[in-house]
Amino acid sequence: MKVSLFTMPTVPATTEERARLRPIGRNAERYTMMIEELRELAVLADGLGFDAFSTTEHHFHTEGGEALPNTLLLYAHLAAITKDIMFIPMSMVLPANDPIRVAEDVALFDQMYPGRIGVAFARGYQRRWVPVLSQRDDAIAFGDKGADDMVREIYNEYLEVVIKAWTEDAFEFNGKHYQVPYPHEGITGWAGKDWTNAYGAPGELDEDGVIRKIGVVPKPVQTPYPRLFVPANVSPQTVISAAQQGVTPIFHEGRVAPLTGLMELYRDEAAKAGHDLAIGERIAVLRTICLGDTYEEAFDFATRTIGYEYHNYFNEFGFAELYRTDADDPDLPMRFNDEADATQRMIETGQILIGTADDVKDQLSELQRCHGDGELEWLVWSHFGQGTTPREESCRQLKIFAEKVWPAFKD
């Protein structure tokens, strides 16, 4: 089992400081503290043998949470001061980016640090920034099936363009939302036609010197391209598309029956695409791990980190619905009452692995077997306290896991 550490880059502060120093996301001194924490955690994770380091990418977060706008730029720095650890942005929102620029940036990183980049792609859910960067007022569509289908259509087109850019020396694409070249009927007036005909990719120009295809430079080092991931929290169609495209889904679901159902759906759809996979193969699950010398100590840590974040922030985006049970009123939106309530519900629904090292080892053993005939390939460990607790607490969590839990599960 491979483990990726997943943090939501947070400017370090207490709640009192976050209010007093608002907007703390634009406080240069505090932002530097966040970069220093991320640097220390990445170096520690590399030394402890973790497989990957991941962060979210969000924009305009003046409040100081999830305040990293460019993952690859940070990773280029972190890769230079580490040796082996991979970096996986979670996630790059394709509808808010130019797909060719994405393909170029990821491939360039792979050239600089061969084999040390993967990438998760997503459709995006935050109304504050996705429409601004995409320049589309309909770029956020969750809850409206027609609009959601349109955003998925854009996402799938952009993903196809990214893959073509990585795998074809020269290509054309005539989509509903993106064209290569632009305009698709060809680009005239290219002064370097003789140079391109002599040294460029075959097929870029026609006999009249009109640009009919483009070739993206550079090509990634990894063959055929870096490992791809996609968050798969709600929609079965996301799971089906991921299986067809050879993309690794990241499942948030913690309960045995629905998680097994998602894994079986992925396996069956992958088989239709010609891939014979066992349950858990080419699968990632996202979990929070909270460790302590006692269960009570671990619960306190969970309440101050993931419980705090879900009750005070992610509640507002409807993420509590991920933890709905049959006991909840179906006519009322799912909400957490406080930090401890959020923590307890996530424990009960399998999202948090918690307790002493032995407790977590037992819980992880159940997850690793994937409740069936296979073994889990990736564990994505989220919310280990960066920015919401002193950095030494986050470091201690990683060290306990690496020394007392993970040896029983490492590949």
- Cα gap 370→193, rounded to integer Å: 56
- Cα gap 264→321, rounded to integer Å: 23
pLDDT tens for residues 285-332? 999 999 999 999 999 999 999 999 999 888 888 888 889 998 899 999
Q: For the chain, how big is the Rg over CA atoms in Å?
A: 22
Sequence ranges of the domains in the chain: 2-408
- Dihedral sign for Cα 103, 104, 108, 111, please: positive
pLDDT tens for residues 30-52? 999 999 999 999 999 999 999 99
pLDDT truncated to tens, each residue of the chain (411 aa)? 999 999 999 999 999 999 999 999 999 999 999 999 999 999 999 999 999 999 999 999 999 999 999 999 999 999 999 999 999 999 899 999 999 999 999 999 999 999 999 999 998 888 888 889 888 877 775 555 556 788 889 999 999 999 999 999 999 999 999 999 999 999 999 999 999 999 999 999 999 999 999 999 999 999 999 999 999 977 888 999 999 999 999 999 999 999 999 999 999 999 999 999 999 999 999 999 999 999 999 999 999 999 999 998 888 888 888 899 988 999 998 888 899 999 999 999 999 999 999 999 999 999 988 776 778 999 999 988 899 999 999 999 999 999 999 999 987
* CATH classification code of 2-408: 3.20.20.30
∠ CA 226-228-231 to the nearest 5 degrees?
155
Instruction: Look at residue 143 in the predicted model and tell me its pLDDT.
Output: 54
Instruction: Look at residue 35 in the predicted model and tell me its pLDDT.
Output: 97
- Cα gap 337→262, rounded to integer Å: 29
- Cα gap 378→263, rounded to integer Å: 13
pLDDT tens for residues 180-211? 999 999 999 999 999 999 999 999 999 999 99
Where b means 16+ CB within 10 Å and e means fewer, 23-48 reads ebbebeebbebbeebbeebbbbbbeb
